[in-house]
Structures are given as C-alpha cells and as structure tokens.
Amino acid sequence: MDNKILKRSEVSENLTWNISDIYSSVEEWEEALLDLKSKVNDFVDSYKSYLNGVEVFKSALTDIDEILALLSRIDHFASLPSSVDAFDNNNVKMAKKAADIFTWVSAKISFFYSEIQNMPDEYFEQLSHEMPSYRGFIRKMKKHKNIMLKPEVEKVLAILNPVFSSPDNIYERTRICDMDFGNFYVGEKEYPLSFSLYEDKYMYSNDTNIRREAFTAFSKVLYNYRNTLAESYYSQVKYEKIMSELRGFDSVVDYLLYDQEVDRNYFDRQIDIIMRDLAPVMRKYARHLKEVRGLDEIRFSDLKIDLDPEYSKNVKIKEAKAYVFDAVKSLGNEYIDTIMKYEEERWVDFPQNLGKETGGFATMPFGVHPYVLMSWTDNLSSMYTLIHELGHCGQFIFTEKNRSFLDSEPSLYLVEAPSTFNELLFTDTLIRRALESGDLRLERYAISKLLSDTYFHNFVTHLLEAAYQRKVYALIDMGESFDADTLSSIKRRVLEDFWGDDVIIDKGAELTWMRQRHYYMGLYSYTYSAGLTIATKAFLNLKDRKKGAEDRWIQFLKSGGAHAPLEAAELAGVDISDEKPLKDTIEYLDKMCNRMIELTEWSDTQKYDSGM
C-alpha cells in the first residue's frame, strides 16, 4: 500500500518545530509554573480590594501583563505537543494540565476585570493617555464594562471554563483519535485514508476515480459520527446562547460580534454580498474547470483540483524559503529579516503523522517566536499554507515589539488580513514570473491558484461556513434545537444556493459541517473573507505603487489591538465603512477569472500580452 502514514516517532526531527526554545525541559517548565503561581498570589494580595486609584491601576496593568505573558509561554509549551501527537498520553496529560493552569489563573485574577466595572470613566481616559502601549486593552475594558456580571459570577464562569470548552475538545478528540477511516479501493488497488490524507491529498488528486472514491469513503466514516458531533456542536451553541443572555444580548450573533468591535451589518454584508455577487464568478470558474479538465460533470468533490495539473509544480520543503523571500521582498528589509528566520529557528512543524491535527495554524508564546502547524505535501497548496501562516507570524512579531501583551491581539475581524495578504504576494510572484518569461501557461496557472487556493479557501469555503452558522444561530435565537439531519439539511441548502445548477452537490457534501473546528470558535469563519477584503485592497494599493503603501501595511501589522477594526483598516489604507472594498474585490476576481478563460482560449504561439 502506498503513502503509509508515519508515527510521530518516525518523522525527521529537523522538520518538526523546536519547543525547547520556550523551555529547555519539563523541569524548567515546572520552575516557571512555580514562578507563575507565586506572581499570581502576589497579584491577588497586592490588588484585591485595593484597586482604588489611577496609579494603582497602572501598576496592576503592568503586573498582570507580565503574568499573562508568562502564562502564554507555560501554556504553549504544555499544549503544542498534543497538537502534533494526540496519541501520546503524556502529551494529552500536559495539555490538560495547561488547561487547568489557565483556569486557575483566570479564576484568581478575575477580580481585576470585575473591579474595572467600578472604575470612573475619567480613569480610562487618563490610563489611555499615560499608558499608550495598553490603549487598545483599556478601550476594550471600557466597552466590556457594560456587559460584566457580578464579580462572584465572573469567577465561577472562569472556573467553569474547562467545562465550557469541552465541546471543542470532544470534537477534536473524536476527529483525531476516534475516527478510523481505514482504506479504500479503486479497482483492485488499496489506498490508506485518514482525515488529513483526505483534506491534504486526495481532495486535490488529479485522478478522478481516486478523488471521488476517497470522498465517498471519507463521507461514510463522517456519517457514522454525525450524531455525536451534532450533540457536541449543540452544546457549544447552547453555551453561547446562555452567555449572550447573561450578558444582556437578544442575539448570539450580536454577542459574539461585540468582542470583535463590529456590528451586525459588517457580518451580514460579508455573507450577503458574497453569496449574491461572488457566486456567479465562482460558478463561471467551475464551468471552466469542468471544460478544461474534460469532466462528465463537476461535483463538489471536484472543486479543489488544479486547472492544469500537468503544469502543477512540485515544491520541496527545502525550496520553500526561496519562494517566501521572492514573495515578501517588496515589503522591505524589516519584514524580510523578521519572516526569514522561520527555518533556522524551526518555527514550522512540517510532517504528516498519525495523531496530528489537520489543517494549519500559527501561534506565538509571547517573548519567544511563532510556531506553525501544517502537513507538507510537496505541492503549491502547501506553499500557500506556509506563506499564509507566516503572514500571521509577521504580525505576531511586529505586534510584540510595539505593543504590550494585553494589547497584542487585534480584533478577530482583522486577524486573517496579514495571512491572506501574503497569499496575494505569492500569487503575484508567480504572475510576475510569467510576465518576465512570456509564459501564458504560467500566468493562467497562477491565476487559477489565486482562485482555487486563496479566494476559494477564504471567500468560498469559510464564507459558506459563515452562511451556515448564521442559519444555525437563527434557530437557537428562536428557541429551537437541531440534530445531525437538521445541520446536514442547512449545509446542503447553503451549498446549493451558492453553486446553483453548475455544480453537483455529491452525497456526503452535506456533512461538511463536521470537517471544521471553526464552528467552536464563535464567528470566526466570516472573518477570513473580511480579512481578505482588507488584504486585497491593501495589495492593490501596493501593486498600483500608491505612495506609502508598504509603510502603511507594516504600521497595520504593528498596531495589534490598539485600534478598532475601522481605524485599524484605515492604517492599511482601506476604508471598510461601506461595501466598496468588498465589491472591488469581487470585481477584481471576476477580471482575473475572465483573464484565465481568455488565456485558455489562446494558443501557446500567440504573442504575449498581459491584458491587465
């Protein structure tokens, strides 16, 4: 059988991330944990019932910032190993211990956030003026003052946090540890199957029989777990509904958007305009994909294949660094020097192995360096994942250098802008190489990757997740419940509404709600398209050589949580107060799709003309 999935112990260490940069040993971690507990107890002794003046608040802010930065390092060291090997019981125990530590700290310091309720408004203004590196945190605390509960209630909620996070944990453990996908057959040949093998390999397979059989086999296993995961998800949204009511909201959506510092219009606008205006563009893309690939029909399970597989480039891990450099060099030496350390400092965990989380993420223990999880598969899709996650890393590092820990996290609405911006830079690099060589086929290939990777992933896959979520939350707000069949029916309807008659929605596509952790992360899915809207406008400013575009983008990356989304986007040169940037983005995509179709129609012998 081909493509054996390795155990974690069998992968090459130099392709894994190096968490010893956080702590060199468990013993050193335990020493840090003792230090943390001491600092937390001192914090309680020093400030509980004593937060009664601006100077005291200033001192408390500095101390709690230090505590939370230390907690960040302790938590990352303990939790990262389980994300790459959930079959190792020691990793799981460490991750649970980290969760318990987080809960203990949250409960002990909850009084600080509660006592902010009693702080006069003029304190907020004075603190913001005198402690500019905490300005965003102070703004958010003033805003959250309106929805804080009594101190004893907030403490109980902090203590119960592990219970509240259990639906997400159940989902992840079910997906990684319990789902056994076995093998599937195409003719007499047997192929191994796992969650990550389907998501990272077979979904992109150029062999139609393998691709479709893998989807069928994958869906059959998902179906067997549908009731368990539907119940898990129901627990998640019921918790969110209860919390929204406790904090005075009529709608779960409004409650979840409150933290993002945007109103309902930003959320609905993103979904409604993309469902209406982008759908025709993506249907056109799907029809073209069907025609070029000679398919009898284009199915949902076919949508991630390459337009021109014979031109598809293999990319080895050792070759990735040159691609990264070429893509980001337009942002200047400061950015280049920051990002290019990923290899020597071993930020990235590349291998596919049993027990590893699927997909990708980037995270950073404050005061160390970023860590990236992905599963490399020697293709450009992996390259897109890498450069996407490195976009997050750049923001992490720039923010840490310019903001306090408490002020380092931007609104969720903005989080995906730095990552998707890097994807656009990478695609532009491929197109530039086509322009320089006069290679029409490379230009078409680059445009197709722009559509099939960057925008499909962020403007279609995640946006359709958001459209599905909106319908689920509407049920909960009306006091109704749901089961697995309800969720599948909602998901199928969303897919059919977007793709119309141009794409066959295979049996099993309705189970796509079981494939993504984002549903356990509030209203995260729609922010991919929101971030990419900002990224597209900023990228076009850069491409059009608008004065200061590079500097504005770097300033945006450095801003962290200092500004609410509207003001933060303005730093990047983007006005998100209305729908124009989103409509401009869709217009840009339509133009690129038309160019791709035009390139298909031209013969290779015709004179090169960019046509843009």
If we measure between CA atoms, which residue out of 124, 122, 149 comes closest to residue 139?
Answer: 124
What mean pLDDT comes out for the span 87-93?
91
Q: pTM score, two decimals?
A: 0.88
**Distant-in-sequence, close-in-space partners of 410: CB < 8 Å, separation ≥ 6:** 395, 399, 559, 560, 561, 568
**Per-residue pLDDT tens digits for 248-260:** 999 999 999 999 9
Tokens of 23: 């702590």
Place of tokens 């998100």: 576
Taking the C-alpha atoms of residue 139 and residue 123, their distance in angstroms, rounded to an integer, is: 11
Residues in the chain: 612
What mean pLDDT comes out for the span 544-565?
94
pLDDT of residue 94: 92
Taking the C-alpha atoms of residue 96 and residue 81, their distance in angstroms, rounded to an integer, is: 12
pLDDT of residue 605: 44
Three-state secondary structure call for residue 183 = strand
Place of tokens 């994909």: 289
**Distant-in-sequence, close-in-space partners of 262: CB < 8 Å, separation ≥ 6:** 411, 413, 565
Q: How far is CA 245 from CA 153, 210, 238, 606, in A?
A: 14, 48, 11, 64
pLDDT value at 243 more than 90: yes
Radius of gyration of the chain (CA): 24
Are 565 and 413 contacting, i.e. CB atoms less than 8 angstroms apart?
A: yes
pLDDT value at 610 more than 70: no
53 confidence band (pLDDT: 50, 70, 90): confident
What mean pLDDT comes out for the span 84-112?
91
DSSP assignment of 471-535: HHHHHHHTT----HHHHHHHHHHHHHHHHTTTSB--TTGGGGGGS-GGGGSSS-HHHHHHHHHHH
373, amino acid identity: L
Taking the C-alpha atoms of residue 265 and residue 581, their distance in angstroms, rounded to an integer, is: 15
Least confident of 293-302, 362-371, 541-550: 541-550
Least confident of 113-127, 419-433, 472-486, 494-508: 113-127
**Number of alpha carbons in the 13 Å side-chain half-sphere of residue 218:** 29
**Phi-psi category of residue 403: left, alpha or beta, with phi > 0 → left and psi -120 to 50 → alpha:** beta
Taking the C-alpha atoms of residue 442 and residue 313, their distance in angstroms, rounded to an integer, is: 10
Mean pLDDT over the full length of the chain: 92
**Distant-in-sequence, close-in-space partners of 423: CB < 8 Å, separation ≥ 6:** 384, 387, 388, 391, 453, 454
Least confident of 23-32, 118-127, 221-230, 518-527: 118-127
pLDDT value at 466 more than 60: yes
User: Which residues on adjacent β-strands are paired with residue 192?
Assistant: 183
If we measure between CA atoms, which residue out of 350, 353, 341, 439 comes closest to residue 397?
Answer: 341
Looking at residue 546, the DSSP 8-state letter turns out to be -
pLDDT value at 612 more than 50: no
Each as own residue / partner, the long-range contacts of residues 34-43 (CB below 8 Å, 24 or more positions apart, any chain) are 35/70, 36/67, 36/70, 36/71, 36/74, 36/101, 36/105, 39/63, 39/66, 39/67, 39/70, 40/67, 40/104, 40/105, 40/108, 40/109, 41/108, 43/67, 43/108, 43/109, 43/112
What mean pLDDT comes out for the span 90-115?
91
**Per-residue pLDDT tens digits for 558-607:** 999 999 999 999 999 999 999 999 999 999 999 999 999 999 988 444 54
Tokens of 470: 């909106």
Tokens of 606: 């015709």
Taking the C-alpha atoms of residue 523 and residue 520, their distance in angstroms, rounded to an integer, is: 9
Q: How far is CA 278 from CA 11, 282, 456, 464, in A?
A: 42, 6, 10, 12
The angle subtended at Cα 405 by Cα 401 and Cα 408, nearest 5°, is 70
What mean pLDDT comes out for the span 444-460?
90
If we measure between CA atoms, which residue out of 396, 405, 452 comes closest to residue 427?
Answer: 452
pLDDT of residue 381: 81
Helix (H) or strand (E) holding 19: none
**Phi-psi category of residue 227: left, alpha or beta, with phi > 0 → left and psi -120 to 50 → alpha:** alpha
Quick one: CA torsion of 113, 114, 116, 120, rounded to 10 degrees? 170
Q: How far is CA 165 from CA 125, 233, 449, 520, in A?
A: 35, 11, 36, 9
The angle subtended at Cα 313 by Cα 308 and Cα 319, nearest 5°, is 165
pLDDT value at 544 more than 80: yes
pLDDT value at 611 more than 80: no
**Per-residue pLDDT tens digits for 412-434:** 999 999 999 999 999 999 899 88
Three-state secondary structure call for residue 232 = helix
pLDDT value at 233 more than 80: yes
Q: What percentage of the chain has pLDDT greater than the value 70? A: 98
If we measure between CA atoms, which residue out of 345, 230, 331 comes closest to residue 550?
Answer: 331
Are 294 and 310 contacting, i.e. CB atoms less than 8 angstroms apart?
A: no
183: phi then psi, degrees, rounded to nearest 5? -130, 165
pLDDT of residue 161: 84
pLDDT of residue 121: 85
If we measure between CA atoms, which residue out of 270, 117, 137 comes closest to residue 564?
Answer: 137
Three-state secondary structure call for residue 218 = helix
pLDDT value at 608 more than 60: no
Quick one: CA torsion of 333, 335, 338, 342, rounded to 10 degrees? -110
What mean pLDDT comes out for the span 330-342?
95
**Distant-in-sequence, close-in-space partners of 48: CB < 8 Å, separation ≥ 6:** 111
The per-type count for the chain, helices as H runs and strands as E runs, is 25, 5
CA 94 to chain centre: 24
pLDDT of residue 3: 59
The total of other beta-carbon atoms located within 10 Å of residue 186's CB is 15
What mean pLDDT comes out for the span 120-146?
90
Tokens of 146: 């309106």
